[in-house]
Amino acid sequence: MTRALFEPLRLAALNLANRIVVSPMCQYSANDGVASDWHMTHLGMLANSGAGMLVVESTHVARSGRITHGCLGLYSDACEAALARIVAHCRRIGSAKLAIQLSHAGRKASSQRPWEGGKALPAAEDPWPTIDPSAIPFGLGWHTPRAMNEDDMARVVTLFVEAAKRALRIGFDAVELHMAHGYLLHGFTSPVSNTRNDQWGGSLEGRLRFPLEVARAVRAVVPSGTPLGARFTGSDWMEGGLTGNDAVVIAKALKEAGLDYVDVSSGGVSLEAQGKLPTSAGYNVPIAERVRREAQIPTRTVGLIVSPKQAEAIVAEGRADMVALARAFLDDPHWAWHAATALGGEVAHPPQYARAGPALWPGAAMRR
Ligand SMILES: Cc1cc2nc3c(=O)[nH]c(=O)nc-3n(C[C@H](O)[C@H](O)[C@H](O)COP(=O)(O)O)c2cc1C
Protein backbone atom coordinates (compact mmCIF):
# COMPACT_ATOMS: atom_id res chain seq x y z
CA MET A 1 0.00 0.00 0.00
CA THR A 2 1.26 3.51 -0.77
CA ARG A 3 2.04 5.48 2.32
CA ALA A 4 1.49 9.24 2.33
CA LEU A 5 4.68 9.81 4.32
CA PHE A 6 6.77 8.34 1.52
CA GLU A 7 5.09 10.20 -1.34
CA PRO A 8 7.36 12.70 -3.10
CA LEU A 9 6.62 16.42 -2.81
CA ARG A 10 7.54 19.24 -5.13
CA LEU A 11 8.31 22.65 -3.62
CA ALA A 12 8.97 25.26 -6.33
CA ALA A 13 11.32 23.31 -8.66
CA LEU A 14 12.70 21.08 -5.91
CA ASN A 15 11.59 17.46 -5.62
CA LEU A 16 11.64 15.93 -2.14
CA ALA A 17 11.71 12.14 -2.01
CA ASN A 18 9.30 12.03 0.93
CA ARG A 19 7.52 14.15 3.55
CA ILE A 20 9.98 13.57 6.38
CA VAL A 21 12.11 16.55 7.38
CA VAL A 22 14.92 16.78 9.91
CA SER A 23 14.02 19.86 11.90
CA PRO A 24 16.68 22.56 12.37
CA MET A 25 18.64 22.01 15.56
CA CYS A 26 21.25 24.35 17.02
CA GLN A 27 24.39 22.49 17.94
CA TYR A 28 26.19 25.36 19.70
CA SER A 29 29.40 23.91 18.29
CA ALA A 30 30.65 26.55 15.88
CA ASN A 31 33.80 28.61 16.37
CA ASP A 32 32.96 32.29 15.93
CA GLY A 33 30.09 31.29 13.64
CA VAL A 34 32.24 28.85 11.65
CA ALA A 35 31.01 25.25 11.34
CA SER A 36 33.24 22.61 12.94
CA ASP A 37 33.99 18.90 12.64
CA TRP A 38 30.93 18.33 14.83
CA HIS A 39 28.73 19.72 12.03
CA MET A 40 30.48 17.50 9.51
CA THR A 41 29.60 14.42 11.54
CA HIS A 42 26.14 15.52 12.67
CA LEU A 43 24.90 16.79 9.30
CA GLY A 44 26.67 14.04 7.36
CA MET A 45 24.84 11.46 9.46
CA LEU A 46 21.46 13.17 9.07
CA ALA A 47 21.93 13.67 5.32
CA ASN A 48 21.87 9.87 5.26
CA SER A 49 18.84 9.50 7.50
CA GLY A 50 16.38 8.78 4.69
CA ALA A 51 14.58 12.09 5.33
CA GLY A 52 13.58 14.00 2.20
CA MET A 53 14.95 17.24 3.62
CA LEU A 54 17.50 18.19 6.22
CA VAL A 55 17.30 21.75 7.55
CA VAL A 56 20.58 23.09 8.88
CA GLU A 57 20.25 24.71 12.29
CA SER A 58 19.51 28.35 12.95
CA THR A 59 22.31 30.09 11.06
CA HIS A 60 22.81 33.69 12.02
CA VAL A 61 23.04 36.55 9.60
CA ALA A 62 25.26 38.62 11.91
CA ARG A 63 27.85 37.88 14.58
CA SER A 64 25.80 39.95 17.04
CA GLY A 65 22.67 38.11 15.93
CA ARG A 66 23.90 34.76 17.28
CA ILE A 67 22.15 33.22 20.26
CA THR A 68 25.37 31.99 21.89
CA HIS A 69 29.13 32.14 21.36
CA GLY A 70 28.78 28.64 19.81
CA CYS A 71 26.06 29.42 17.27
CA LEU A 72 26.47 28.96 13.56
CA GLY A 73 26.71 32.02 11.32
CA LEU A 74 26.78 32.94 7.66
CA TYR A 75 28.19 36.44 7.82
CA SER A 76 31.81 35.99 6.73
CA ASP A 77 33.87 34.27 4.06
CA ALA A 78 35.17 31.87 6.73
CA CYS A 79 31.57 30.91 7.67
CA GLU A 80 30.73 30.40 4.00
CA ALA A 81 33.80 28.28 3.24
CA ALA A 82 33.25 25.95 6.20
CA LEU A 83 29.57 25.41 5.39
CA ALA A 84 30.39 24.88 1.72
CA ARG A 85 32.71 22.01 2.71
CA ILE A 86 29.99 20.45 4.82
CA VAL A 87 27.32 20.80 2.13
CA ALA A 88 29.66 19.23 -0.44
CA HIS A 89 30.30 16.38 2.01
CA CYS A 90 26.55 15.84 2.61
CA ARG A 91 25.95 15.73 -1.15
CA ARG A 92 28.72 13.20 -1.73
CA ILE A 93 27.59 10.81 0.95
CA GLY A 94 23.90 11.50 1.58
CA SER A 95 20.51 11.78 -0.10
CA ALA A 96 18.52 14.47 1.77
CA LYS A 97 17.84 17.78 0.10
CA LEU A 98 19.58 20.52 2.08
CA ALA A 99 17.91 23.62 3.45
CA ILE A 100 19.31 26.31 5.70
CA GLN A 101 17.48 28.28 8.36
CA LEU A 102 18.52 31.95 8.48
CA SER A 103 17.99 33.86 11.67
CA HIS A 104 18.76 36.82 13.86
CA ALA A 105 18.34 36.14 17.58
CA GLY A 106 17.12 39.63 18.57
CA ARG A 107 16.68 39.96 22.34
CA LYS A 108 17.54 36.27 22.87
CA ALA A 109 21.08 36.85 21.59
CA SER A 110 24.10 36.99 23.86
CA SER A 111 23.13 34.00 25.94
CA GLN A 112 24.82 30.88 27.25
CA ARG A 113 24.75 27.48 25.57
CA PRO A 114 21.95 25.38 27.14
CA TRP A 115 24.45 23.13 28.89
CA GLU A 116 26.21 26.18 30.33
CA GLY A 117 23.01 27.53 31.88
CA GLY A 118 21.00 28.91 28.95
CA LYS A 119 20.70 32.34 30.58
CA ALA A 120 21.85 35.78 29.45
CA LEU A 121 25.65 35.95 29.30
CA PRO A 122 27.01 37.55 32.49
CA ALA A 123 29.67 40.28 32.30
CA ALA A 124 32.47 37.73 32.74
CA GLU A 125 31.39 35.74 29.66
CA ASP A 126 31.84 38.36 26.95
CA PRO A 127 28.23 39.48 26.39
CA TRP A 128 27.26 41.88 23.61
CA PRO A 129 24.47 44.45 23.10
CA THR A 130 21.20 43.13 21.68
CA ILE A 131 18.42 44.65 19.56
CA ASP A 132 14.68 43.98 19.24
CA PRO A 133 11.59 45.93 18.18
CA SER A 134 11.07 47.19 21.75
CA ALA A 135 13.38 47.62 24.72
CA ILE A 136 11.81 44.79 26.72
CA PRO A 137 13.97 41.94 28.04
CA PHE A 138 13.05 38.31 27.34
CA GLY A 139 12.63 37.79 31.08
CA LEU A 140 13.98 38.69 34.48
CA GLY A 141 17.79 38.78 34.43
CA TRP A 142 17.99 39.04 30.63
CA HIS A 143 19.64 41.81 28.63
CA THR A 144 17.47 44.78 27.80
CA PRO A 145 17.65 45.11 24.01
CA ARG A 146 17.92 48.46 22.27
CA ALA A 147 14.72 49.27 20.35
CA MET A 148 15.61 49.20 16.66
CA ASN A 149 15.44 52.32 14.52
CA GLU A 150 14.90 52.33 10.77
CA ASP A 151 18.65 52.26 10.05
CA ASP A 152 18.92 49.07 12.12
CA MET A 153 16.03 47.60 10.17
CA ALA A 154 17.57 48.44 6.81
CA ARG A 155 20.85 46.88 7.99
CA VAL A 156 19.13 43.68 9.14
CA VAL A 157 17.31 43.35 5.79
CA THR A 158 20.68 43.61 4.04
CA LEU A 159 22.20 41.03 6.40
CA PHE A 160 19.45 38.52 5.57
CA VAL A 161 19.89 39.17 1.85
CA GLU A 162 23.68 38.80 2.04
CA ALA A 163 23.40 35.56 4.01
CA ALA A 164 20.84 34.21 1.51
CA LYS A 165 23.27 34.98 -1.32
CA ARG A 166 25.99 33.09 0.50
CA ALA A 167 23.60 30.15 1.03
CA LEU A 168 22.82 30.07 -2.69
CA ARG A 169 26.53 30.23 -3.59
CA ILE A 170 27.14 27.28 -1.28
CA GLY A 171 24.43 25.40 -3.18
CA PHE A 172 21.68 24.93 -0.60
CA ASP A 173 18.50 23.53 -2.16
CA ALA A 174 16.17 25.69 -0.06
CA VAL A 175 16.27 28.70 2.23
CA GLU A 176 14.13 29.09 5.31
CA LEU A 177 13.53 32.19 7.45
CA HIS A 178 13.32 31.78 11.20
CA MET A 179 10.24 33.69 12.33
CA ALA A 180 9.62 31.58 15.43
CA HIS A 181 10.71 30.90 19.00
CA GLY A 182 11.13 34.51 20.11
CA TYR A 183 13.97 35.45 17.77
CA LEU A 184 14.02 38.81 16.00
CA LEU A 185 11.42 38.26 13.25
CA HIS A 186 9.01 36.63 15.69
CA GLY A 187 9.88 39.44 18.10
CA PHE A 188 8.38 41.88 15.61
CA THR A 189 5.30 39.74 14.94
CA SER A 190 4.27 39.13 18.53
CA PRO A 191 2.44 41.77 20.59
CA VAL A 192 4.27 40.41 23.65
CA SER A 193 7.65 41.71 22.44
CA ASN A 194 6.58 44.41 19.98
CA THR A 195 4.92 47.34 21.74
CA ARG A 196 5.93 49.98 19.18
CA ASN A 197 3.40 52.58 18.22
CA ASP A 198 4.92 53.50 14.86
CA GLN A 199 4.23 51.77 11.53
CA TRP A 200 6.37 48.75 12.64
CA GLY A 201 4.06 47.87 15.53
CA GLY A 202 0.47 48.12 16.65
CA SER A 203 -1.87 45.88 14.64
CA LEU A 204 -0.75 42.51 13.30
CA GLU A 205 -0.40 44.20 9.93
CA GLY A 206 2.07 46.69 11.45
CA ARG A 207 3.94 44.02 13.41
CA LEU A 208 4.30 41.91 10.27
CA ARG A 209 5.62 44.82 8.20
CA PHE A 210 9.29 44.25 9.01
CA PRO A 211 9.31 40.41 8.76
CA LEU A 212 7.54 40.76 5.40
CA GLU A 213 10.11 43.29 4.25
CA VAL A 214 12.82 40.76 5.04
CA ALA A 215 10.85 38.00 3.30
CA ARG A 216 10.34 40.05 0.13
CA ALA A 217 13.97 41.18 0.02
CA VAL A 218 15.21 37.59 0.38
CA ARG A 219 12.66 36.37 -2.18
CA ALA A 220 14.09 38.90 -4.63
CA VAL A 221 17.49 37.13 -4.55
CA VAL A 222 16.35 33.52 -4.19
CA PRO A 223 15.43 32.26 -7.68
CA SER A 224 11.82 31.22 -8.14
CA GLY A 225 12.78 27.57 -8.61
CA THR A 226 14.49 27.45 -5.21
CA PRO A 227 12.04 27.05 -2.35
CA LEU A 228 11.92 29.86 0.17
CA GLY A 229 10.01 29.03 3.33
CA ALA A 230 9.55 30.30 6.85
CA ARG A 231 9.11 28.72 10.23
CA PHE A 232 6.82 30.83 12.37
CA THR A 233 5.25 30.68 15.78
CA GLY A 234 1.57 29.88 15.39
CA SER A 235 0.76 30.44 19.07
CA ASP A 236 2.60 32.22 21.86
CA TRP A 237 0.67 30.10 24.39
CA MET A 238 0.33 33.27 26.39
CA GLU A 239 -2.42 35.71 27.34
CA GLY A 240 -2.31 38.59 24.84
CA GLY A 241 0.06 36.71 22.50
CA LEU A 242 -0.26 35.27 18.99
CA THR A 243 -3.03 32.72 18.42
CA GLY A 244 -4.14 30.30 15.72
CA ASN A 245 -6.21 33.09 14.10
CA ASP A 246 -3.03 35.15 13.72
CA ALA A 247 -1.23 32.11 12.31
CA VAL A 248 -3.60 32.02 9.35
CA VAL A 249 -3.06 35.74 8.68
CA ILE A 250 0.72 35.33 8.93
CA ALA A 251 0.72 32.38 6.53
CA LYS A 252 -1.43 34.23 4.00
CA ALA A 253 0.89 37.24 4.16
CA LEU A 254 3.98 35.05 3.68
CA LYS A 255 2.35 33.37 0.70
CA GLU A 256 1.56 36.79 -0.73
CA ALA A 257 5.24 37.74 -0.24
CA GLY A 258 6.15 34.83 -2.52
CA LEU A 259 7.11 32.12 -0.05
CA ASP A 260 6.74 28.51 -1.13
CA TYR A 261 5.97 26.89 2.21
CA VAL A 262 5.55 27.53 5.90
CA ASP A 263 6.45 25.54 8.98
CA VAL A 264 4.08 25.99 11.90
CA SER A 265 5.85 25.83 15.24
CA SER A 266 4.97 27.67 18.44
CA GLY A 267 6.16 29.25 21.66
CA GLY A 268 9.43 30.87 22.68
CA VAL A 269 8.41 34.51 22.94
CA SER A 270 9.00 35.08 26.63
CA LEU A 271 10.46 33.47 29.72
CA GLU A 272 7.03 33.84 31.28
CA ALA A 273 5.55 31.38 28.75
CA GLN A 274 8.37 28.87 29.00
CA GLY A 275 6.60 26.26 31.13
CA LYS A 276 3.38 26.63 29.14
CA LEU A 277 4.36 24.86 25.93
CA PRO A 278 2.02 21.88 25.48
CA THR A 279 3.53 18.45 25.91
CA SER A 280 0.89 16.48 24.01
CA ALA A 281 1.74 14.52 20.86
CA GLY A 282 1.71 16.69 17.74
CA TYR A 283 0.68 19.81 19.68
CA ASN A 284 1.14 22.14 16.69
CA VAL A 285 -0.81 19.98 14.25
CA PRO A 286 -4.24 21.62 14.82
CA ILE A 287 -2.78 25.06 14.00
CA ALA A 288 -0.89 23.71 10.97
CA GLU A 289 -4.06 22.05 9.72
CA ARG A 290 -5.95 25.35 9.87
CA VAL A 291 -3.10 27.21 8.20
CA ARG A 292 -2.91 24.66 5.39
CA ARG A 293 -6.66 24.73 4.80
CA GLU A 294 -7.24 28.46 5.11
CA ALA A 295 -4.01 29.89 3.67
CA GLN A 296 -3.64 27.20 0.99
CA ILE A 297 0.13 27.00 1.21
CA PRO A 298 2.30 23.87 1.53
CA THR A 299 2.62 23.41 5.28
CA ARG A 300 5.02 21.59 7.52
CA THR A 301 4.45 20.99 11.16
CA VAL A 302 6.64 20.05 14.09
CA GLY A 303 6.50 19.30 17.78
CA LEU A 304 6.33 15.94 19.51
CA ILE A 305 5.89 13.94 16.35
CA VAL A 306 7.48 10.72 17.43
CA SER A 307 6.05 7.51 16.00
CA PRO A 308 5.87 6.51 12.33
CA LYS A 309 2.12 5.86 12.62
CA GLN A 310 1.53 9.32 14.02
CA ALA A 311 3.60 10.96 11.27
CA GLU A 312 1.83 8.94 8.58
CA ALA A 313 -1.62 9.91 9.93
CA ILE A 314 -0.76 13.65 9.93
CA VAL A 315 0.17 13.56 6.24
CA ALA A 316 -2.44 11.00 5.14
CA GLU A 317 -5.26 12.97 6.78
CA GLY A 318 -4.14 16.15 5.03
CA ARG A 319 -3.29 17.94 8.27
CA ALA A 320 0.17 18.92 6.95
CA ASP A 321 2.19 18.31 3.79
CA MET A 322 5.40 17.57 5.67
CA VAL A 323 6.38 16.62 9.18
CA ALA A 324 9.57 17.81 10.85
CA LEU A 325 11.12 15.86 13.69
CA ALA A 326 13.91 17.09 15.92
CA ARG A 327 14.50 15.05 19.08
CA ALA A 328 13.30 11.82 17.47
CA PHE A 329 16.19 12.17 14.98
CA LEU A 330 18.71 12.83 17.75
CA ASP A 331 17.42 9.72 19.47
CA ASP A 332 17.46 7.67 16.27
CA PRO A 333 19.32 9.15 13.29
CA HIS A 334 17.86 6.30 11.22
CA TRP A 335 14.28 7.17 12.20
CA ALA A 336 13.15 7.33 8.57
CA TRP A 337 14.63 3.88 7.81
CA HIS A 338 12.74 2.43 10.74
CA ALA A 339 9.56 4.29 9.76
CA ALA A 340 9.83 2.81 6.28
CA THR A 341 10.20 -0.69 7.74
CA ALA A 342 7.30 -0.17 10.14
CA LEU A 343 4.91 1.30 7.56
CA GLY A 344 6.00 -0.56 4.45
CA GLY A 345 7.54 2.41 2.66
CA GLU A 346 10.92 3.01 1.08
CA VAL A 347 13.66 5.54 1.76
CA ALA A 348 17.19 5.87 0.43
CA HIS A 349 19.78 3.73 2.21
CA PRO A 350 23.50 4.08 1.66
CA PRO A 351 24.73 0.85 0.03
CA GLN A 352 27.38 0.49 2.75
CA TYR A 353 24.57 -0.16 5.26
CA ALA A 354 22.31 -2.21 2.99
CA ARG A 355 22.98 -5.38 4.96
CA ALA A 356 21.15 -3.89 7.94
CA GLY A 357 17.99 -3.41 5.84
CA PRO A 358 14.92 -5.67 6.14
CA ALA A 359 15.67 -7.39 2.80
CA LEU A 360 19.07 -8.69 3.95
CA TRP A 361 18.87 -8.81 7.74
CA PRO A 362 16.30 -11.00 9.50
CA GLY A 363 17.18 -9.07 12.67
CA ALA A 364 15.37 -6.00 11.24
CA ALA A 365 12.04 -7.72 11.99
CA MET A 366 13.17 -8.85 15.43
CA ARG A 367 14.11 -5.41 16.74
CA ARG A 368 10.50 -4.12 16.83
C1 LIG B 1 18.89 20.49 20.29
C2 LIG B 1 17.81 21.31 19.69
C3 LIG B 1 18.12 22.45 18.96
C4 LIG B 1 17.12 23.19 18.32
N5 LIG B 1 17.47 24.24 17.52
C6 LIG B 1 16.53 24.82 16.72
C7 LIG B 1 16.88 25.70 15.67
O8 LIG B 1 18.06 25.93 15.40
N9 LIG B 1 15.89 26.26 14.96
C10 LIG B 1 14.55 25.99 15.18
O11 LIG B 1 13.70 26.52 14.50
N12 LIG B 1 14.21 25.11 16.14
C13 LIG B 1 15.15 24.51 16.89
N14 LIG B 1 14.80 23.56 17.80
C15 LIG B 1 13.38 23.17 17.89
C16 LIG B 1 13.12 21.96 17.00
O17 LIG B 1 13.44 22.20 15.65
C18 LIG B 1 11.66 21.50 17.12
O19 LIG B 1 10.83 22.50 16.63
C20 LIG B 1 11.29 21.17 18.57
O21 LIG B 1 12.31 20.43 19.21
C22 LIG B 1 10.01 20.34 18.63
O23 LIG B 1 10.14 19.18 17.83
P24 LIG B 1 10.47 17.73 18.45
O25 LIG B 1 9.38 17.41 19.43
O26 LIG B 1 10.44 16.80 17.24
O27 LIG B 1 11.80 17.76 19.11
C28 LIG B 1 15.77 22.82 18.47
C29 LIG B 1 15.45 21.70 19.25
C30 LIG B 1 16.44 20.94 19.83
C31 LIG B 1 16.06 19.70 20.60
H, E, C per residue of 207-257: HHHHHHHHHHHHHHHCCCCCCEEEEEECCCCCCCCCCHHHHHHHHHHHHHC
Atom of ligand 1 nearest to the CA of 325: 26
Atom of ligand 1 nearest to the CA of 114: 1
Which residue is closest in CA terms to ligand 1's atom 13?
Answer: 25
67 CA to centre of ligand 1 in angstroms: 14
197 CA to centre of ligand 1 in angstroms: 32
CA 341 to the chain's CA centroid: 27
Which residue is closest in CA terms to ligand 1's atom 2?
Answer: 25
362 CA to centre of ligand 1 in angstroms: 34
Round to whole Å and give the CA distance between 183 and 7: 33
User: What residues are annotated to the active site?
Assistant: 183
Round to whole Å and give the CA distance between 1 and 80: 43
Q: 3-state class of 54 per DSSP?
A: strand
323 CA to centre of ligand 1 in angstroms: 13
Which residue is closest in CA terms to ligand 1's atom 4?
Answer: 25
Nearest to 24 by CA among 324, 277, 320: 324
pLDDT value at residue 286: 98
pLDDT value at residue 65: 98
Q: Give the tens place of pLDDT for each residue, 17-40.
A: 999 999 999 999 999 999 999 999
CA dihedral sign of residues 281, 108, 75, 133: positive
Q: 3-state class of 365 per DSSP?
A: helix
Q: Give the tens place of pLDDT for each residue, 117-155.
A: 999 999 999 999 999 999 999 999 999 999 999 999 999
Q: Kindly state if the Cβ of 24 falls inside 6 Å of ligand 1.
A: yes
Whether residue 188 contacts residue 210, with contact meaning beta carbons closer than 8 Å, is answered with yes
Q: Kindly state if the Cβ of 107 falls inside 6 Å of ligand 1.
A: no
Whether residue 193 contacts residue 182, with contact meaning beta carbons closer than 8 Å, is answered with yes
Residues in the chain: 368
Q: 3-state class of 199 per DSSP?
A: coil
pLDDT value at residue 11: 98
CA 139 to the chain's CA centroid: 23
Q: Report long-range pairs for 321-324 (Cβ below 8 Å, ≥24 apart).
A: 321/9, 321/19, 321/261, 321/292, 322/9, 322/16, 322/19, 322/20, 322/21, 322/52, 322/53, 322/261, 322/263, 322/298, 323/5, 323/19, 323/20, 323/21, 324/21, 324/22, 324/23, 324/55, 324/263, 324/300
pLDDT value at residue 107: 98
DSSP 8-state assignment for residue 64: G
Pairing type for strands 9-11 and 14-16 reads: antiparallel
Q: Kindly state if the Cβ of 260 falls inside 6 Å of ligand 1.
A: no
Which residue is closest in CA terms to ligand 1's atom 1?
Answer: 25
pLDDT value at residue 93: 94
157 CA to centre of ligand 1 in angstroms: 24
Q: What backbone torsions phi and psi does residue 303 show, to the nearest 5 degrees?
A: 115, 105
Could you tell me if residue 293 is left (phi over 0), alpha (psi between -120 and 50 degrees) or otherwise beta? alpha
pLDDT in single tens digits along all 368 residues of the chain: 579 999 999 999 999 999 999 999 999 999 999 999 999 999 999 999 999 999 999 999 999 999 999 999 999 999 999 999 999 999 999 999 999 999 999 999 999 999 999 999 999 999 999 999 999 999 999 999 999 999 999 999 999 999 999 999 999 999 999 999 999 999 999 999 999 999 999 999 999 999 999 999 999 999 999 999 999 999 999 999 999 999 999 999 999 999 999 999 999 999 999 888 999 999 999 999 999 999 999 999 999 999 999 999 999 999 999 999 999 999 999 999 999 999 999 999 899 998 998 889 898 888 76
